[in-house]
Structure 1
Amino acid sequence: MKASRAPLHSPALYSKMATVDFDSSVDPEMDLTSDEELEREAEGFKEQGNAYYVNKDYAEAFNFYTKAIDLCPKNASYYGNRAATLMMLSRYREALEDSQQAVRLDDTFMKLKTAESILEYERMAEISFEKRDFRMVLFCMDRALESASAGHRFKVLKAECLALLGRYPEAQSVASDILRMDSTNGDALYVRGLCLYYEDCIDKAVQFFIQALRMAPDHEKARLACRNAKALKAKKDEGNKAFKEGSYEEAYDLYSEALTIDPNNIKTNAKLYCNRATVGSKLNKLEQAVEDCTKAIKLDESYIKAYLRRAQCYMDKQQYEEAVRDYEKVYQTEKTKEHKNLLKNAQLELKKSKRKDYYKVLGVDKNATEDEIKKAYRKRALMHHPDRHSGASAEVQKEEEKKFKEVGEAFTVLSDPKKKSRYDSGHDLEDDDMNMDFDANNIFKAFFGAPGGFSFEGNSSSGPGNFFFQFG
């Protein structure tokens, strides 16, 4: 009689099958009765196996299907049911053996195809994992789990790949599902730790790695991850300590060493790059600091602290357009009063940088005193006065006349406390109610005194160098 079949879900290897020997001397009529009794008993074992299978107690289901096979080794459905159970127990190659035996007994048995396809997905996943093509591994595991929904091995590999792709909540969810059914599963504990490790929760991650190693002392991945986690935290803490103590060169080197420990830990490495950038700015390595911030942002595009640090470096380098761009990004993400003020200040500095730099025109710094501004004007005005260059080419005369006017304009603003204050605060003086109309020659005469107070002497043919000043 044909036995009903429990559902089959995925592949593996089962080597030996028990057989029952019959004594040929037994009376045929009695033998028939014994066969019927054996079939009834085997069917009972199969039904018990089905019940355990439905309740997901696959170990007991396996035991009862095996008892059924021992009694009736020619029944294809018993092998098929046991193959399904073996797949749920992640014993895929044994499951494939049982499926193949079922086909030998009944060539219409179709569960072999499922077993073979799962083995193929497993093979593809192994190759893809070696190539770090984690998305392909996920695809293979999802296909395999469609047939072997309880396959912990497939679930663990899926969770690990989700973690390696940065999809930590999904990875945690899959690992937690496994641990609810088997709290001692070392692979699932390892994945939980891996997620925490990659989220820069290193202390908690180490606890999970240690727990995984207690459950599976030979778990090499957990051992390596635990070692990396401890080394990374130790080196990062050393760098932080050196920075707080003002040992910037030492801190820079320690952060650099930490960055070599585990290139896969994106979030922690982003913080290390940002920390090193902070040290770099203290050491006046502004270009290097900008590069480190950029590397941090490349690893974690949502890392606000790295944008802020890079923006400050740009401000220090007087690259105001770049600073404004970074502050805009920050303010769009976090609309705080502090970020708004930083953006406004950068925009103001950008605006100021595009105006004439009157301090540069006079050759003084922004903290110059009134006397220093006057001395600077006197020097530059005499240097660029048109009379001094009367013998030069028309092009040179035009250029010097322009500079002479700029010197007068700069002096007009910086010598007037009100105008200077508004200029320093970034206001456009042309938009103010202050009169910016001036005559450079009048300023020059007013500064040096009445006509005759000085004179340029010489002639145009003798060149611009032949002159002298007379002061009254």
Structure 2
Amino acid sequence: MKAEALCLLQRYEEAIRLCEQSMAFADSNFSGYEIYQVKLWRWFFISKSYFHLGRLEAALDLLNKLEKVGSTKEMYASKKLESSVPLSVTIHELLRHKNAGNEAFRSGSYTEAVEHYTVALSSNVGSRPFSAICLCNRGAAHQALGQITDAIADGSLAIALDGNYVKAVSRRATLHEMIQDHGELAGDLQRLVSILENQSNDMAKESGSLGRSSGSVKELRDGHRCMHLMEEAKKGISLDFYLIL
């Protein structure tokens, strides 16, 4: 019940840790069919949490493990499950369209890529990070097709779903630079620098060091330098309405 409450609060990482930590307790307090059911439920719950976090491959690996163990039919029939459709089927379909979109993009079939990402987005319910990735990728396809405003719109939606998505923020900044919207560009660069600083500080805390990697330092310096240049450049420069149209 606590894991379910954490999931409703969208604290999926904590829910996963709780399931993993309580597994040892279950091993020492249950036996036979009971421990079997306890483990199955935890594995399934962890896979659902992975799905909500956008870690679809990890969720699928765990679900495949469940299927090998067997008796998942009982789990899918449980009232605790929110959908009658097996989660593994949903994940397979989402990954199929996303991967097909990526392949189409790499081959230069940008319209086809947009279609695959759109299908993945319309089929996805519950995984905001996965939707953010598909939106960011679809934005790249729109950009390649010269559809700049559509690309910016997709980038904005991706950022709304995942405010710390570096690639989406960076790509939208590039698009704002293309249309000479230096006010919005400066805002994106400020956001990008803030995200990188927070990530760098988190990494330093985890490693027990106050220092930053050379890569993160370079990214931050580039971001600060671009912000300064944009503040100078946006003076007296108007939007490129031709490119927008």
Normalising by structure 2, report the TM-score: 0.73
Match of 1:170 in 2: 14
Counterpart pick for 1:218 among 66, 74, 82: 74
User: Which residue identity lines up with residue 108 of structure 2 in the other structure?
Assistant: G
Query: Which structure's relative contact order is higher, taking Cα pairs within 8 Å and 6+ residues apart?
Result: 2
Aligned-residue offset at 1:164: 4.5
Counterpart pick for 2:62 among 208, 212, 233: 208
Alpha-carbon distance between aligned partners in 2 of 1:210 and 1:201, rounded to the nearest angstrom:
15
Match of 1:96 in 2: none
CA RMSD of aligned residues (A): 2.4
What secondary structure, in the 3-state scheme, does the structure 2 residue paired with 1:301 have?
coil
Normalising by structure 1, report the TM-score: 0.40
- 2:183–2:234 Cα contact (<8 Å) kept: no
> Given the superposition, is the C-alpha separation of residues 346 and 169 from structure 1 closer, same or farther in structure 2, using an over 3 Å criterion?
closer
Aligned-residue offset at 1:316: 0.8
Normalized per residue, the structure richer in helix is 2
Alpha-carbon distance between aligned partners in 1 of 2:226 and 2:16, rounded to the nearest angstrom:
43
Counterpart pick for 2:136 among 256, 267, 274: 274
Match of 1:194 in 2: 48
Aligned-residue offset at 1:353: 4.0
Deviations 1:267-317 (A, max 9, x none): 111111111111111111111111111111111111111111111111111
User: Which residue identity lines up with residue 221 of structure 2 in the other structure?
Assistant: K
Counterpart pick for 2:166 among 282, 304, 307: 304
Match of 1:352 in 2: 233
Alpha-carbon distance between aligned partners in 1 of 2:130 and 2:155, rounded to the nearest angstrom:
13
Deviation above 6 Å: which 4+ runs of structure 1?
none
Q: Which runs of 5+ in 2 are unaligned?
A: 27-34, 198-216, 239-245
Aligned pair count reads: 201
User: Which residue identity lines up with residue 160 of structure 1 in the other structure?
Assistant: E
User: Which residue identity lines up with residue 210 of structure 1 in the other structure?
Assistant: N
User: Which residue identity lines up with residue 18 of structure 2 in the other structure?
Assistant: V
Counterpart pick for 1:288 among 143, 146, 150: 150
Alpha-carbon distance between aligned partners in 2 of 1:356 and 1:239, rounded to the nearest angstrom:
37
1:92-107 matched pairs, under 5 angstroms: none
Match of 2:218 in 1: 337
Alpha-carbon distance between aligned partners in 1 of 2:113 and 2:137, rounded to the nearest angstrom:
9
- 2:7–2:49 Cα contact (<8 Å) kept: yes
Aligned-residue offset at 1:352: 3.2
User: Which residue identity lines up with residue 173 of structure 2 in the other structure?
Assistant: A
Alpha-carbon distance between aligned partners in 2 of 1:225 and 1:259, rounded to the nearest angstrom:
16
User: Which residue identity lines up with residue 231 of structure 1 in the other structure?
Assistant: E
1:12-411 matched pairs, under 5 angstroms: 155=1, 158-180=2-24, 181=26, 182-185=35-38, 186-213=40-67, 214-220=70-76, 221=81, 224-335=86-197, 336-345=217-226, 347-355=228-236
Aligned-residue offset at 1:201: 2.4
Alpha-carbon distance between aligned partners in 2 of 1:160 and 1:206, rounded to the nearest angstrom:
20
